[in-house]
Amino acid sequence: MSAALIELAGIERVFHLGDSEVHALRRLDVSIAAGEYVAVMGPSGSGKSTLLNLIGLLDRPNAGVYRLEGRDVTTLSAEEQARVRSERIGFVFQSFHLVPRLTAGENIALPMILAGIAPAQRAERVARALGDYGLENRADHRPDQLSGGQRQRVAIARATIMQPAVILADEPTGNLDRATGEEVMRLLEALNENGVTLIVVTHDGSLGARARRQLLMEDGALQNDQSRSNRVIPEACVLPT
């Protein structure tokens, strides 16, 4: 399985809350191939957000190995991890996380600014991204002058501007109404069709059902890992294979 984009083996994540230990993730083994569309589902507290943070290199596991594109990234220094985040991973958040004082265009350019890309190239890529996401005449608006859907489109444009291998979306429609949420999901799925690996965390069943593969989490462990191809015979998955 060296072709896997993301390979998690024996991942443990323990949080210490006072005297008690909370096992957010227990001996997790997951492998995600490049170009997959995965929904991570489960009730709150099941560890799905922790999993996303680990995959996004925002958090480190207490045990286990995480290979991204065949490279062990758990042992990288914080600086190297930041570099991997910058170049290979794009985040989309529930609450958008746009910088309020920056315009839409500046928010989209932020990852490139942090990566030290030259201004001319930045301007060109921002212009293209604004066009791609239908934000041409919103470029100079600040986030508080944008609708929720527009904000999330800006966030998606920002997540993709560095052409990452994987996009991690944490409840991307959580703060949006149904129609806008639908529109945002279509944008993300379009990216996936172009080859970007898409991992969406949600507790919304209908949203998760759109993915070709669902990871069902419970109590920090993987309860169920089903692919849509199996759903041709939905009853089958009830039986342990």
Partner 1 sequence: MRTPDLIRFARDAATGNPLRTFLLVLAMAIGVAAVVVLTALGDGARRYVLNEFSSIGSNLVIVLPGRSQTGGFNPGNAITSTPRDLTVDDAQALLRASAVHRVAPLAVGTSEISVGGKLREVMVAGTTAEFIDVRRLVLAQGRFLPAGDWRRGASEAVIGAKVRDEMFGRQAALGQLVRIGDRRFRIVGVLAASGQGLGMNTDELVIVPVALAQAMFNSNTLFRILVEAASRDAIEPAKAQVAEIIRLRHEGEQDVTIITQDAVLATFDRLLGTMTLAVAGIAAISLAVAGILVMNVMLVSVAQRTAEIGLLKALGATSATIRNAFLTEAAMLSVAGAVLGFLLGQAGAAIIRQLYPAYPAFPPDWAVLAGLATALTTGIVFGVLPARQAARLDPVESLAKR
Q: Quick check: 71 binds partner 1 (CB under 8 A)?
A: no
What residues from 97 to 136 belong to the interface with partner 1 (CB under 8 A)? Answer: 97, 99-102, 110-111, 113-116, 118-119
Q: Tell me, residue by residue from 26 to 55, as one string, x for binding to partner 1 by CB under 8 A and - for no binding.
A: ---------------------------x--
Residue 56 or 208: which CB sits closer to partner 1?
Answer: 56
Among 1, 17, 78, 238, binds partner 1 (CB under 8 A): 78
Q: Tell me, residue by residue from 137 to 176, as one string, x for binding to partner 1 by CB under 8 A and - for no binding.
A: ---------------------x---x--------------
Q: Quick check: 83 binds partner 1 (CB under 8 A)?
A: yes
Closest CA to 11 of 50, 58, 56, 69: 50
Q: Quick check: 228 binds partner 1 (CB under 8 A)?
A: no
Residue 217 carries which side chain, given as an amino acid letter?
A: M
Give the HSE-up count for residue 115: Cα atoms under 13 Å, Cβ half-sphere: 22
Residue 234 carries which side chain, given as an amino acid letter?
A: P
Task: State the CB neighbour count (10 A cutoff) for residue 191.
Answer: 20
Q: Would you give the end-to-end CA distance of the chain in angstroms?
A: 21
Mind spelling out the 3-state secondary structure of 142-163? CHHHCCHHHHHHHHHHHHHCCC
Residue 59 or 204: which CB sits closer to partner 1?
Answer: 59
Query: In degrees rounded to 5, what are phi and psi of residue 136?
Result: -50, -45
What span, in angstroms and rounded, lies between the C-alpha atoms of 32 and 8?
A: 9
Q: How many residues bind partner 1 (CB under 8 A)?
A: 29
CB of 113 to partner 1, least distance (A): 5
What span, in angstroms and rounded, lies between the C-alpha atoms of 196 and 37?
A: 9
Contact 12, 64 (CB under 8 A): yes
Q: Which stretch binds partner 1 (CB under 8 A): 30-38, 62-70, 89-97, 184-192?
A: 89-97
Residue 114 or 236: which CB sits closer to partner 1?
Answer: 114
Helices (runs of H) and strands (runs of E) counted in the chain: 7, 10
CB of 231 to partner 1, least distance (A): 33
Report the interface residues with partner 1, using CB under 8 A. 53, 56, 58-59, 78-79, 82-83, 85-87, 91, 93, 95, 97, 99-102, 110-111, 113-116, 118-119, 158, 162
